[in-house]
Amino acid sequence: MPCGSCRWQCVLGLFWLTQLWTAVEADFPEDTYPASVLEDAKLSTVQLLAKYKYPGETHTVTTEDKYVLQMHRIARPGAKPVLLMHGLLDSSATWILMGPHSGLGYFLYDAGYDVWLGNVRGNRYSRSHVKLNPDTDKSYWSFSWHEIGYYDLPALIDAVLAKTGYQKLSYFGHSQGTTSFFVMASTRPEYNAKIHVMSALAPVGYMTNMQCPFIGIGHRVLPMIGEGQEILPYFKGFSICMMSETVMDICMFYFWRMFGKDPPETNMTMLPAMFAHVPAGANSNQFLHYLQLQKSDRFCAYDHGEKENQRIYGRSKPPDYPLEKVTAPVALYYTQNDYLSAVKDVKRLIKRLPNVVENHMYPYKKWNHMDLIWGISARRLAQPRMLEVMQFYEANGAQNRTESKHEDTEDSTTTEAAQTEETEEPEGFLSHSLKYIMNYLFYD
């Protein structure tokens, strides 16, 4: 352990040194990106909504265990409510940051909905508690996505229903926004009755076949960082990736290694906004819990170690989440080049969910973990069907229950963007060397 952490500090030190070095010979982003995009990078969710002339609101919600969450709203009073939950290290901004011509939040609002954008505990908007101070109280950081599912989602759902007067809402989750939903709907099954339909974008339950090349690093580095540590918090509109073109290249390299490489679907003009809004902060336990799933080949509660497990669960191993209790209609949308949510794992999840109403695997071979919310073609090729399915289950309540069809047979020629030849990005000497060093250190 002492040796290990020294090595980790060395790596970090080296990393920052190279960052500084590259920054010195920086190309300034001001020369490369439109002023409007650089401005978007600095605005908060409600400021973005105001800039693009949408009626943004902020609502505060306190959970049963006294965490104070901020929920944003694109307000259409009286209209049917829909709640959108972001993924790990992300925030409410994810649904709108690509702009009115692209974001799912705008799309649903324009389609006549009252759109609510949640934020989970620990991120930049929800880093608050009635009693605990996240900066000084270690016990603030004693949660993973289990608590997000068990406490945050019910609180947010109840708040939306109370404020709108509706009995039910529709739910969209991306990545961790789906994991936490499955936690909620299986451990507090009474909440299923409050959901018209849950749309799972890049769903994550089982993680056994995750291809992300950072799993090895994760298993080594996260235990050194330890449990209950804040990870990658938000720094006031400052993004390390924006320091220079070279650093940007490096960020893109890691972005694609993390989520799956898909340059044709990535709007390069928007990089400042993407990298400034994400990461938005999380707890190391959220990562640790995911790594436990990957290692254990199960979808189960947090493993605290045998002794603690005995005390908390009354058994040495954490219990599986009872997915058979997720009775709300679930529509799943997933992609084939998703390094975090493997097709095989999604299919296993589908087998265990009792009420799957849409099983939608996109035929575009390169679509990755982020493309369903940030991808250039998402508005055209994904959002309309999501809306159609949602409207169907809102109107009928009845189930179309056509045994997991819609295994897409669409021809992939329908997307020019997804078809464009991959252009290898030119690589500077510095970024090349840095990658080489990082790879050497991490993949030995």
Catalytically annotated residues = 175, 369
The footprint of ligand NAG on this chain (CB under 6 A) covers a number of residues equal to: 10
Give min distance, CB of 180 to ligand NAG, in A.
25
Please state, in angstroms and as integers, the Cα–Cα distance from residue 156 to each residue in 117, 121, 261, 285, following that order: 10, 11, 33, 22
Q: Residue 422, class by beta-carbon neighbours within 10 Å (0-12 exposed, 13-18 middle, 19+ buried)?
A: exposed
Contact with ligand NAG (CB under 6 A): which of 291, 326, 376, 382?
376
Contact with ligand NAG (CB under 6 A): which of 282, 288, 392, 415?
392
Distance separating alpha carbons of residues 23 and 12, to the nearest angstrom: 16
- State which residue, 317 or 385, has the beta carbon closest to ligand NAG: 385
> Which two three-digit tokens encode residue 110?
């324009």
The yes or no reply on residue 107 touching ligand NAG (CB under 6 A) is: no
- State which residue, 137 or 388, has the beta carbon closest to ligand NAG: 388
Give min distance, CB of 196 to ligand NAG, in A.
12
Contact with ligand NAG (CB under 6 A): which of 267, 296, 355, 404?
267
Contact with ligand NAG (CB under 6 A): which of 81, 99, 118, 318?
99
Contact with ligand NAG (CB under 6 A): which of 37, 156, 212, 346?
37
Give min distance, CB of 103 to ligand NAG, in A.
11
- 286: Cβ–Cβ under 8 A, 6 or more apart, which residues? 88, 122, 144, 145, 148, 176
The yes or no reply on residue 271 touching ligand NAG (CB under 6 A) is: no
Task: Report CA 241 to chain centroid distance, whole Å.
Answer: 19
- State which residue, 39 or 158, has the beta carbon closest to ligand NAG: 39
Distance separating alpha carbons of residues 274 and 119, to the nearest angstrom: 17
Residue 367: name the closest of 424, 402, 408, 425 by CA.
408
What's the one-letter identity of residue 240? I
Which residues from 414-443 bind ligand NAG, rule CB under 6 A? none
Collapsing DSSP to helix, strand or coil, 6 comes out as helix
- State which residue, 267 or 355, has the beta carbon closest to ligand NAG: 267
Give min distance, CB of 267 to ligand NAG, in A.
4
Look-up of token digits 């909905």: 113
> Which two three-digit tokens encode residue 47?
């400021």
Give min distance, CB of 155 to ligand NAG, in A.
30
Residue 49: name the closest of 81, 95, 118, 82 by CA.
95
189, 66, 127, 79: CA torsion to nearest 10? 50
Give min distance, CB of 392 to ligand NAG, in A.
3
Stretch that binds ligand NAG, among 8-16, 75-83, 346-354, 385-393 (CB under 6 A): 385-393
Give min distance, CB of 37 to ligand NAG, in A.
6
Distance separating alpha carbons of residues 232 and 222, to the nearest angstrom: 13
Look-up of token digits 């254990």: 296
Contact with ligand NAG (CB under 6 A): which of 9, 58, 60, 400?
400
- State which residue, 67 or 255, has the beta carbon closest to ligand NAG: 255
> Which two three-digit tokens encode residue 316?
């040495």
User: Apex CA 271: angle with CA 117 and CA 333, to 5°?
Assistant: 50
Instruction: Name the closest residue to ligand NAG (Cβ).
Output: 392
Contact with ligand NAG (CB under 6 A): which of 5, 9, 133, 269?
269
- 304: Cβ–Cβ under 8 A, 6 or more apart, which residues? 312, 318
Collapsing DSSP to helix, strand or coil, 117 comes out as strand
Stretch that binds ligand NAG, among 43-51, 211-219, 294-302, 384-392 (CB under 6 A): 384-392
The yes or no reply on residue 389 touching ligand NAG (CB under 6 A) is: yes
Q: Which residues would be at the binding site for ligand NAG (CB under 6 A)?
A: 37, 99, 267, 269-270, 376, 388-389, 392, 400
